């Protein structure tokens, strides 16, 4: 399969977790540890499984993911407030509990970006094509800083900005469309790169000229069904293009 030349687009918008950095692995570990404890405390069945991450959590804003997963087990909790403590029995409290675990792992272990993604960003920079980050995570700025690459991106649309501007989370297209507007480009002339099914749906719904799916576990067929135009195992596959 011949891959399109990303440098021919007006901009390329990247998801963060699983596309730029392997933070998805840290997120999956933190979600699993936290939900196994919550499920055990509440005797919730069936137990948390890895498939729950892809079905309910991946690509969504933290609190939306908590609500979606609990709803899948028929559990409803008060939403609470974003400043709820991690012990609060609310959607926000549970989300903050997970975030505390994530931040501890990030601080202890750091994070390194995927070499293939950095190679693509290098090629885009050389061609004068701007890059942006479009992430549901409220940790995006700290992750980019920990990886030493914050300065590579003209725009960072993350969970903090989305909440401030009252933008719905992926799979709604709003965050990708707004990031394109902030870059001063048209979605139809830009490319979006995602590894989450909800993120692919978001970019496809936003009318992007190219939607690239990176298969980190969601599955090639599922990414294609969600709206990916092409699917790769790693962005390094694009480096030789053009």
**Distances in whole angstroms, Cα of residue 9 to Cα of each of 30, 53, 191, 192:** 36, 32, 7, 10
pLDDT in tens, 214-240: 999 899 999 999 999 999 999 999 986
Decide if 15 is catalytic: yes
Could you give the maximum distance between any two Cα atoms of the chain, in Å? 55
pLDDT in tens, 159-194: 999 999 999 989 999 999 999 999 999 999 999 999
Decide if 10 is catalytic: no
Whether residues 195 and 99 fall in one domain: no
Whether residues 140 and 217 fall in one domain: yes
Cβ-count burial 89-127 (b if 16+ within 10 Å, e if not): ebbbbbbbbbbebbeebbeeeebebbebbbbbbebbeee
Which of 5, 17, 58, 122 is flagged as catalytic?
Answer: 17
Is it the case that residue 98 has pLDDT exceeding 80?
A: yes
Torsion of CA 195, 200, 203, 209, to 10 degrees: 90
pTM of the model: 0.78
Q: Is the dihedral of CA 26, 42, 171, 98 positive or negative?
A: negative
CB 39 within 8 A of CB 106: no
Which residues have a Cβ under 8 Å from the Cβ of 102 and sit 6 or more positions away? 26, 27, 30, 139
Domain boundary residue, one of 109, 133, 160 = 109
Per the model's pLDDT, the better-predicted residue between 197 and 28 turns out to be: 197
Candidates 150, 146, 206; CA nearest to 174 is 206
Q: What is the mean pLDDT of the chain?
A: 94
Give residue 66's pLDDT band: very low, low, confident or very high (50, 70, 90): very high
Domain boundary residue, one of 109, 137, 159 = 109
Whether residues 50 and 29 fall in one domain: yes
Q: What is the pLDDT of residue 5?
A: 96
Helix (H), strand (E) at residue 120:
helix 115-127
Tell me 1's DSSP state.
Answer: -
Candidates 191, 195, 231, 156; CA nearest to 54 is 195
Whether residues 118 and 208 fall in one domain: yes
CB 53 within 8 A of CB 62: no
Whether residues 34 and 54 fall in one domain: yes
State residue 190 phi and psi, 5-degree precision: -125, 165
Give residue 24's pLDDT band: very low, low, confident or very high (50, 70, 90): confident
Which residues have a Cβ under 8 Å from the Cβ of 169 and sit 6 or more positions away? 59, 60, 61, 64, 136, 159, 162, 175, 198
State which residues form the domain around 49. 25-109
Give residue 242's pLDDT band: very low, low, confident or very high (50, 70, 90): very low
Domain count, the chain: 2
Which of 5, 15, 84, 174 is flagged as catalytic?
Answer: 15
């Amino acid at each position: 399969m011949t891959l399109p030349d990303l440098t021919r687009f007006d901009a390329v918008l990247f998801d963060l977790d699983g596309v730029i950095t392997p933070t998805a692995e840290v997120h999956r570990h933190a979600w699993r540890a936290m939900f196994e404890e919550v499920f055990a405390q509440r005797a919730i069945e069936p137990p948390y499984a890895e498939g729950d991450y892809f079905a309910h959590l991946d690509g969504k804003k933290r609190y939306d993911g908590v609500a979606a997963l609990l709803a899948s087990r028929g559990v409803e909790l008060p939403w609470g407030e974003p400043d709820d403590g991690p012990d609060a029995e609310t959607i926000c409290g549970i989300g903050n509990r997970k975030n505390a675990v994530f931040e501890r792992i990030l601080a202890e272990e750091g994070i390194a970006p995927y070499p293939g993604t950095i190679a693509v960003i290098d090629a885009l920079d050389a061609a004068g094509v701007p890059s942006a980050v479009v992430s549901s995570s409220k940790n995006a700025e700290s992750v980019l800083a920990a990886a030493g690459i914050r300065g590579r991106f003209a725009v960072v649309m993350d969970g903090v900005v989305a909440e401030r501007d009252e933008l719905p989370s992926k799979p709604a297209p709003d965050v990708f469309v707004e990031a394109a507007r902030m870059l001063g480009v048209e979605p139809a002339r830009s490319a979006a790169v995602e590894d989450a099914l909800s993120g692919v749906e978001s970019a496809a719904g936003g009318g992007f000229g190219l939607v690239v799916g990176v298969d980190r576990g969601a599955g090639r067929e599922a990414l294609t069904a969600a709206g990916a135009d092409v699917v790769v195992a790693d962005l390094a596959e694009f480096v030789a293009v053009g």
